[in-house]
Amino acid sequence: MKYLVKDLEKILNAKKANITSNLEITGIAIDSRKVKQGDLFIPFLGENVDGHNYIESAFEKGAAASLSLKDDFVSDNNIIYVDDSYEAIQTLAKHYLESLNAKTVAITGSNGKTTTKDIITSVLSTKYKVHKTQGNFNNELGVPITILAAPEDSEILVLEMGADGFGQLNFLSKLVEPDYTVITNIGESHIEFFKSREGIAKAKFEITNGMKKDGYFVYNGDEVLLKTLVDSSEINATSCGENSYNDIILESYTITRDKIDFKLNISDEQYFTKLKGKHNLYNIMFATAIASKIGLTNEEIRKAIENTVKITGMRLQSIPYREDSLIINDAYNASPTSMKAGVDVVSSYDDFDYKTLVLGSMFELGPNEVSYHGEVGEYISENTNDIDLVISVGELAENITKQIKNDKIKTLHFPTTAEVSEYLKNNKHKNEVILFKASRSMKLETIIDEITK
């Protein structure tokens, strides 16, 4: 981005400005410790921190200007006075996005947002200059920051959008006005805020509210809640799934340790991916739909999928363990739906002699949190025949192992991750695969760090 300070005064409809030098703005910073030369510093007022206390520090590090919410803030440097920092960064992001003339892809869903973002970016990057959301910058602050970090020659922006309340995706969608939108699935994440899966579906569907009139919506057509919403709307939509009524259909697949071979109805060719889990075949179908609409051929898409191997860490991340074993680090976050998917990944492997699941507590599941954990245990009991050991960690997670009634599956519970680490270090098995899955705050990756020292 490149703006002159005087340009920002107009764009942000500033109350007033103290412009001592009409410098060029080339970036933004909300943390004074991360300011780069030419940045616009944006202070925020919090309960315990006042960003205005760091404005002069930002100038010392090279900031070209700073916003201020305080009319009486005085500085010898460029200060633009505004009413609201959030509104200012959102207004600037919208202005910059319009100047880029880039296509935008907005992605949401209960699970799989980040992986789908990574796959779409990987495929589209074979032909276009693509900028994507970094980390989990997917809210009313993170999305504008992502936009403003886009290089001026970006042709496509792939933006992840999250929400834990109604109206949030409506706002972000109207801010971005995406050309393409994706909903990966409807699970139970944040159900305490939405009350039901129906509520989650309605909130996620808000991502289409700001979509351009000629835009396209890509979604999981096997999810009845989404299909119902699409059928009652007039938006252009492409459905993906296993059911025969979908536009892109997963016709068959074969899972091995190193790859998944699969067939889609849109091509006579066989596809393969090195990404793990059947659920990633859905994410691949979403990417295929988007890439096809943007202009890639089926063959270009197929080759790009085969070469997509790197996704954001702690999402079914494979870590070699000892001489003959494997750790699957899927510990970034968890919901009942994604935890069952992780179980399916381990169960699908036929070439391990011992299979262990380390499952931690899941949060933000509302008043039914105990039963949601129990459902995972019941799922393991009824749908897997080759899991050898399930270890639960955390108070809520104990409800998983309590509901495992299959005598062939050994169950253990530990209150802390340290106890799990100690157990795994003292109880090793040859040719073993171990899955780690839990909500972010459980930090199960600390167990991995400990046992792989």
Identify the CATH class of 101-306.
alpha beta
Cα(304)–Cα(74) distance, integer angstroms: 54
Asked if 369 contacts 345 with a C-beta cutoff of 8 angstroms, the reply is no
Asked if 435 contacts 334 with a C-beta cutoff of 8 angstroms, the reply is no
Closest CA to 144 of 171, 165, 116: 171
443: number of Cβ within 10 Å: 13
Asked if 433 contacts 355 with a C-beta cutoff of 8 angstroms, the reply is yes
Asked if 166 contacts 200 with a C-beta cutoff of 8 angstroms, the reply is no
Structure tokens at 367: 């008043």
Cα(372)–Cα(276) distance, integer angstroms: 24
Identify the CATH class of 317-451.
alpha beta
Give the angle subtended at the CA of 183 by the CAs of 346 and 28, to the nearest 5°: 105
Residues 6+ apart with CB under 8 A from 102: 131, 150, 154, 155, 156, 157
Residues 6+ apart with CB under 8 A from 49: none
Res 312: pLDDT: 78
pLDDT in tens, 151-192: 999 999 999 999 888 999 999 999 999 999 999 999 877 677
Asked if 182 contacts 105 with a C-beta cutoff of 8 angstroms, the reply is yes
Closest CA to 167 of 133, 198, 192, 204: 204
Q: What is the DSSP letter of 23?
A: P
Helix (H) or strand (E) holding 3: strand 3-4
Residue 93, CB-side half-sphere exposure with 13 Å CA sphere: 27
Q: Helices 279-294 and 298-306 sit at what angle, rounded to 10 degrees?
A: 140
Give the angle subtended at the CA of 65 by the CAs of 62 and 66, to the nearest 5°: 110
Structure tokens at 401: 């192992």
Cα(258)–Cα(248) distance, integer angstroms: 25
pLDDT < 70 regions, the chain? 190
Q: 216-220 and 236-241 as β-strands: parallel, antiparallel, unpaired?
A: parallel
Asked if 266 contacts 231 with a C-beta cutoff of 8 angstroms, the reply is no
Strand-by-strand arrangement of the 432-437 sheet: 317-321, 325-329, 432-437, 354-360, 389-393, 410-414
Delimit the domains of the chain by residue range.
3-83, 101-306, 317-451
Cα(319)–Cα(325) distance, integer angstroms: 9
**CATH number for region 3-83:** 3.40.1390.10
Q: 317-321 and 271-273 as β-strands: parallel, antiparallel, unpaired?
A: unpaired
pLDDT in tens, 296-343: 999 999 999 999 987 877 788 889 999 999 999 999 989 999 999 999
Res 297: pLDDT: 97
Cα(322)–Cα(99) distance, integer angstroms: 52
- Classify residue 18 as left (phi > 0), alpha (psi -120 to 50) or beta: beta
Bridge partners (DSSP) listed for residue 328: 318, 435
**DSSP readout, 217-255?**
EEEETT-HHHHHHHHTS--EEEEEESSTTSSEEEEEEEE
Closest CA to 218 of 340, 122, 119: 119
